[in-house]
Structure 1
Amino acid sequence: MGDRCQISLHRSVAIVTEQSISIKQGKSGLIFPIVELCMFIVSVTLLVIFIDTWSLGILVFLLVFSSIIGPLSLIGLINNIAGTSFVLEKSKYSARWQQGLLGLGIGTYELVPFDRIDHFFIRNDFDDFLAGGSKQDLVEFEILMVKDNDKELSVARIIEPREFVDTASNRINKLAMLLGEMASVEVRANKNSSSGKDSYELTVSKRRKRYRQIQR
């Protein structure tokens, strides 16, 4: 695995290093916290300027509003800057999903050791049809972690218009193969119809089966 790289996902980004793969909120997630912070600043400013002129009801409303919107904007900013929703670490030999308490990814609600991972699976709805019989304009790709008890856990997904399906599939394939390489497990994908110009089939490179080292 090479140097640090980033892979764009749906409203998030995967950060890949030699020792870990983490999925964080994308930059677009900063919009709402910044708007909330601006509203907080405006409400506090109005409260200070017009404290002697406005009615008590308006002042109480501004006080309650600012006391709610202020902490929410701060939590949102911290989550988007430092929070993570998924982390796979080679040194800890495990993958974990973060709690996301009030939007802040600080606690672990799912922990999967590498020994419990059976394989990663790339799912897509490329061949799905709408009720009218036409194919969907948007195509979704999703990476699922399949445990040894067949439980499926969503790791990452990408949603792109059908005309950009090639670039989307390249990104999701790259991330899946990096996950499989770090966890030393197989990567599988569902295959689509191969007839017609508009068809597409996921390609997953074949890798030599690697056995996990058992700690004695």
Structure 2
Amino acid sequence: MNQYVGKLCRAAMSSLFFFLLLDVGVSGRSASTESAAVTQTTAQPPLATRPEPWHLSVTQTPAKEKAKEGETVVLNCHFNSPQSSSLSELMVKWYKEDEKGQMTLLENNVTILPNNNRIFMSGDLSQGDASLVILNVTTGDHGIYFCAVTLPDGKVVTGNGTKLRIRRALGLFGIEESIGTIIAVVAAGIGGLVVLIIVLTPQLRRCILCMKQGSHQA
């Protein structure tokens, strides 16, 4: 009887020991799996967000503009970009080039010429409009005007320019023409007078001879 009880005890102890080993193995594998998962998750680098590049185009119209002294001139400058919500943050610069060199008229959306309220930007930047207005133009406003837009990253995009010519008043019979047209008209008049003299000279000579002959006969 004692032997039978001893066998049962040994069998129970063996079963208990087997289950303990099995539980330790399963727990060890679970812990290893969780640790590997945590390691794999933390090893992934964070995604870096890069700002999208600007693709801006600047258009100036017209390429050439004429006006008379005292008139108001609008030089159109329009720009567009996929990032339309940020257009109002752009910086606009207007400058003029002529025989005297280059002169900045407007910078950072503000007119910088001292004591000059004739020139200002009238467009709405949020709508992509950076047009320039010049009031009471004079012959000193001759030149080529450029619209330059500065992006947030510092890149500058410039339009093709608008050439402005101002016609002045002669003050004679109310005629208004540009200097080039005046010179052309005067040259044409002188040329026509020379041709007329050349054509009429032979006829004048004949008339003078006829008059002389008539006086001798009388």
| TM more than 0.5 | no
Which of the pair is proportionally richer in helix? Answer: 2
CA radius of gyration, larger in = 2
Report which structure shows greater RCO (CA 8 Å, sep ≥6): 2
Please report the TM-score for the alignment, with normalisation by the length of structure 2: 0.21
